[in-house]
Amino acid sequence: MIVRPQRVTFRLGLADVDTALADVLRCVRGAGGELVALARDGVAHDVQVELAGDASVDALAADLEDLAGVEVLALVDEVLAAHERGKIRVESARPVTGPDDLALVYTPGVARVTRMIADDPTAATRFTTRGNLVAVVTDGSAVLGLGDVGPLASLPVMEGKAMLLREFGGVDAIPLLVDERDPDRFVDVVARVALGFGGINLEDIAAPRCFEIEGKLRQRLDVPVFHDDQHGTAVVVLAALTNAARVVGRDLSSLRVVVQGMGSAGVAIANLLMSAGVADLVPVDVDGIVEPKRGAGTDPIRRRVARQGNPRGLSGPKDVALADADVFIGVSGPDSLTVEQVRTMSPDRIVFALANPTPEIEPELVRAEARVVATGRSDHPNQINNVLCFPGLFRGLLDAAATAVTDDMKVAAAYAIADVVGDDLAADHVIPSAFDRRVAPAVAAAVAGAARDAGHVRPGSGGSRREESAAALREAALRAVARGRAGRAGADGAAGTGGGEG
């Protein structure tokens, strides 16, 4: 994520327009801003200003108020206005305009569907929101580039995630904020409320706690559990690397890859690349090559990556891993890779510097040194953006009524993303735009197909919420008829024991 300029509008009362506007312009420029637009509204003037990302809107407002002949009447912040009253809402899928509608969607009609689900829980996938509803779950401990802000402050980010799921994947999502840092208690909270959801999207949970939480939730739940910070990033990296390998005329299996940063994303990237066929992968962190024998600063997850990777048994500083490497993938920190280190890599080198907002090496410095360069930023080519993965992935999981997310499904998603580029492949175009609307349907189809092929679908669902077995529905209807007959027989033999449905 890059720090984008702030755009704010000041409504000003100006005593002497010509003189005051000149003073206003000088004040704005002194604050590091630029005048974007100026309009008159009656006796007031609306001055729209764009400020650098770290500039203070409040400080500029105070400076404007101090100008002679200038009164600040109102202030509209573009960012705050976009978040006013939240960014998502719940809407009815059909109107309720009279008694007939009410009878269909609530009482008495709802009782029939409720009984069907009681007899056959798989019917909930088709006849409730569960078939298209994902929980976006966080404890707010690792939010974007902001760090540990807590669950409540993370809510705008979770709302944004829900918006993207709906906008790009047609998936409904609800933020679920869990104020709990103990992994076992966190897992217990989520497991107890998960029944109404068709999938769980873990978000912005710090490592190594995120590994434990994801693993235990997968064991307890029969719906897909997906930590996007780990696996969404890994899927898009694999997609981009697949096409980057094509650009340099190599197979994935022949590449020597260095992954720098063994947090949640780095671990997931390393695991997925090895699952996809990368044989020579060396994990590194701030202390150098991550080795199984290292004790301090590693946990079982990272030690497992170290055991599975590094087939040449390299040890020592990062420079050892980079020598003659074909690929550098950074998910670590800013300015942690030098041009000199890049030059020690193989001639057809590929550099993915993904740290945000400041990458491991500035793209301008490395572009002349590498065949393919990717970043996490939207102002450079080849942006590694998770929105290319998670909306389509959850669409496919829900369509297949999947019960899990596997490496095969993630690899299928990555290849689907890569294939969208097609004949437009070039060194500066190894990954589609985040706004390419072909991506999500392609990913959904690939993931749903992989889920069905592996049999990771809910029993009785037919492999798709739109392919519910007609036989199962007929059986449910027959059970309801039989129950009704039994109820009438019981009423005939036991008068005075009736009840009502709300």
Per-residue pLDDT tens over the stretch 38-85: 888 777 888 989 887 666 888 888 999 899 999 999 888 777 788 888
Per-residue pLDDT tens over the stretch 318-372: 999 999 999 999 999 999 999 999 999 999 999 999 998 899 999 999 999 999 9
pLDDT at 469: 39
Residue 99 within a domain: no
Residue 52 within a domain: yes
Confidence of residue 402 (pLDDT cuts 50, 70, 90): very high
pLDDT at 300: 82
Edge-to-edge order in the sheet of strand 256-260: 288-289, 280-285, 256-260, 327-330, 350-353, 372-375
Per-residue pLDDT tens over the stretch 195-228: 999 999 999 999 999 999 999 999 999 999 999 9
Q: Is the pLDDT of residue 179 over 80?
A: yes
pLDDT at 461: 59
Residue 118 within a domain: no
Q: Are residues 321 and 368 in the same domain?
A: yes
Q: Are residues 219 and 245 in the same domain?
A: no
Q: What does the alpha-carbon distance between residue 151 and residue 180 come to, in Å, rounded to a whole number?
A: 9
Q: Are residues 210 and 264 in the same domain?
A: no
Per-residue pLDDT tens over the stretch 407-423: 999 999 999 999 999 99
Q: Are residues 206 and 63 in the same domain?
A: no
C-alpha dist (Å) from residue 496 to 361, 483, 485, 491: 80, 19, 18, 8
Residue 88 within a domain: no
Residue 466 within a domain: no
pLDDT at 497: 29
Looking at 197, 212, 227, the residue that finishes a domain is: 227
Give 121's DSSP letter: T
% residues pLDDT > 90 (the chain): 69
Residue 471 within a domain: no
Looking at 42, 63, 83, the residue that finishes a domain is: 83
CATH number (domain holding residue 62)? 3.30.70.60
Q: Are residues 310 and 402 in the same domain?
A: yes
* Cα torsion 383, 388, 390, 391: sign: positive
Q: Is the pLDDT of residue 478 over 90?
A: no
pLDDT at 460: 62
Confidence of residue 477 (pLDDT cuts 50, 70, 90): very low
pLDDT at 52: 78
% residues pLDDT > 70 (the chain): 89
Name the most confidently modeled range: 56-65, 224-233, 482-491. 224-233
**Mean pLDDT computed over every residue of the chain:** 88
Q: Are 115 and 483 in contact (CB under 8 A)?
A: yes
CATH number (domain holding residue 177)? 3.40.50.10380
Confidence of residue 464 (pLDDT cuts 50, 70, 90): very low
Length of the chain: 502
- Record the tokens describing residue 89, joined without a space: 């809402």
The SS3 assignment for 301 reads helix
Instruction: Extract the runs of DSSP E, i.e. beta strands, from 336-394.
Output: 350-353, 372-375
pLDDT at 197: 97
Instruction: Name the strand (E) or helix (H) holding 33.
Output: strand 33-41
CATH number (domain holding residue 315)? 3.40.50.720
Q: What does the alpha-carbon distance between residue 363 and residue 206 come to, in Å, rounded to a whole number?
A: 28
**Torsion, CA 22, CA 23, CA 27, CA 30, rounded to 10:** 70
Q: Is the pLDDT of residue 491 over 80?
A: no
Q: Is the pLDDT of residue 473 over 80?
A: no
Q: What does the alpha-carbon distance between residue 143 and residue 138 come to, in Å, rounded to a whole number?
A: 9
Q: Are residues 299 and 208 in the same domain?
A: no
Give 474's DSSP letter: H
Residue 86 zone, left/alpha/beta (φ > 0; ψ -120 to 50; rest): left
Q: Is the pLDDT of residue 499 over 80?
A: no
pTM of the model: 0.83
Give the active site residues: 106, 161
Q: What is the mean pLDDT of residues 448-472?
A: 69
Kindly tell me the burial class for residue 148, based on how many C-beta atoms sit within 10 Å of its own C-beta (0-12, 13-18, 19 or more): middle
Looking at 227, 260, 290, the residue that finishes a domain is: 227
Peptide bond into 108 cis (omega under 30): yes
Range of the domain at 446: 231-454
Q: What does the alpha-carbon distance between residue 46 and residue 295 come to, in Å, rounded to a whole number?
A: 61
Residue 156 within a domain: yes
Q: Are residues 432 and 356 in the same domain?
A: yes
Q: Are residues 246 and 341 in the same domain?
A: yes
Q: Are residues 383 and 445 in the same domain?
A: yes
pLDDT at 441: 97
Q: Are residues 198 and 252 in the same domain?
A: no
Per-residue pLDDT tens over the stretch 74-132: 888 777 788 888 898 888 989 999 999 999 999 999 999 999 999 999 899 999 999 99
Long-range contacts of 89-98 (CB under 8 A, 24+ apart): none
Q: Are residues 314 and 434 in the same domain?
A: yes
- When comparing pLDDT for 33 and 194, which is higher? 194
Residue 117 within a domain: no
Q: Are residues 70 and 171 in the same domain?
A: no
Number of structural domains in the chain: 3
Residue 219 has a CB neighbour count (10 Å cut-off) of 10
